[in-house]
Structure 1
């Protein structure tokens, strides 16, 4: 006997939560988002978008008729219309030690999830250093397009990436310790974001020959 209830996986729940968070941050209604998606070439009704957002609540008690998984075409169009990276929808809105559940059995630090998704690090699932090194080598061979991979392997680029990560950690600390001075926390976060854009410009401007 079917109960008409389903359990969404962790990524579907993350996408649902992020979609609602980003849509509300943009001040866009379900209907307006539907119209903009249609203009972008992806037809999704306001009801369908609402059902994707409902996945954030999936705990075994939500009716299957009230939920809808976002497929890859949905995800791409939503990211375009919301003006974010697809990763912003796929991954938790955290980048530090907070836990990020990627599957029902893989749970990693949010920082590691973002590094993995951005093409810089294999998910650290092996305790043995040699095994993890092999995983990282295999990851490096295919995670990025060949030319991008060559650029990312340059020592200067790796140094700048490490600096960016360090500043991200400092910004996170600043946010935690600056409750009495929210302006300082916002300033640190903005500077970190600006540095990230500057790094991307440096990488994109490197010679490819």
Structure 2
């Protein structure tokens, strides 16, 4: 495992650190940026990292701080979860999360986007789900997520263009990430029910 020497103490880069390293390299290349160009973007954003530091990050030889991770996510135009979580070809691939062990990629991403806990105890699942929602997100965001789609309904009872685009993109991601094929109409009905809180057991 790669280590970073800080004074007399070696810092070990764990599984999430290795994922971050791979994602920085992947996203930088996808954006068509050299390490020097990315360094310039970060410097203009007020969080300078030298090109040599970016190279060491990508090799897992330099620990990425939380501020640097946030700045990199902004520079790449992605959420922090796009750096923290492994990009896999299938939803059922096993991935390793620091402190959480191995889980399916889909569960890791659901956790990373704040939808579900990484793991639950079957005997305490309802409590753990409620606490995850209560402690993990502000109440106003939960209300926003619940009503955003139904609030996008037009006066005639149809969906606005923005709502249709949002649902279509969610449908595409769902099929891509799960490998399941669901027709758009069925997916739309399910999403509207979820957004309005229908069918929830609390």
Match of 2:133 in 1: 140
Judging changes above 3 Å, is the alpha-carbon distance between structure 1 residues 170 and 110 closer, same or farther for their aligned structure 2 residues?
Answer: same
**Counterpart among 91, 98, 105 of residue 103 in structure 1:** 98
The offset of 1:6, in angstroms, is: 6.1
User: Could you tell which deviates more after superposition, 20-29 or 114-123?
Assistant: 114-123
Which runs of 5 or more residues in structure 1 are unaligned?
A: 56-66, 175-191, 204-209
The offset of 1:168, in angstroms, is: 3.6
In structure 2, distance between residues paired with 1:137 and 1:54: 39
Which whole-Å deviations, capped at 9, do the CAs of 1:157-178 have from their partners, x for residues lacking one?
7xx999977654533538xxxx
| Secondary structure at 1:108 match in 2 | strand
Asked whether the 8 Å contact 1:10–1:104 carries over to 2, the reply is no
Moved over 4 A (4+): 3-6, 153-157, 160-167
Structure with the larger helix share: 1
Pairs aligned (count): 161
| Secondary structure at 1:88 match in 2 | helix
Structure with the larger strand share: 2
Match of 1:20 in 2: 25
Q: CA RMSD in A?
A: 3.3
| Secondary structure at 2:116 match in 1 | coil
Which runs of 5 or more residues in structure 2 are unaligned?
A: 151-162, 196-202
In structure 2, distance between residues paired with 1:51 and 1:19: 11
**Normalised TM-score (structure 1):** 0.66
**Normalised TM-score (structure 2):** 0.68
Match of 1:58 in 2: none
Asked whether the 8 Å contact 2:120–2:128 carries over to 1, the reply is no
**Counterpart among 68, 72, 87 of residue 74 in structure 1:** 68
In structure 2, distance between residues paired with 1:70 and 1:41: 16
